[in-house]
Amino acid sequence: SISTEFKNPLESLSGATLQLKQEKGADSKDERTKSLQLIEESSNVINRIVENIMAMSKLSSGFIHLQKE
C-alpha cells in the first residue's frame, strides 16, 4: 500500500538523521557515510513514489492521454 511505501523510507530517514545527530553516530566516518547513503536512497525512493502518484493523478484526471500504437 502507499502508506507502507512512504512509511518505510521515512522511518529510515528519521533513524539515520537521529544517528547523525547523536554523538555516537559521529564517531566513525564509515557510520556517517552509511547514514548519509541511507538518507539519499530513502529520499530517492520517496521521490519516485511521489512522481508515480503525480503521473497516475494526471492519467486519471485525463490530463495525459495514452495512445495505442
Question: What digits encode the pLDDT tens for the residues 12-48?
Answer: 889 888 888 876 645 678 888 888 899 999 999 999 9
pLDDT at residue 10 above 80? yes
CA-CA distances (angstroms) from residue 35 to 26, 27, 58? 10, 12, 35
Instruction: State mean pLDDT over 44-66.
Output: 82
Q: For residue 22, give the DSSP letter.
A: S
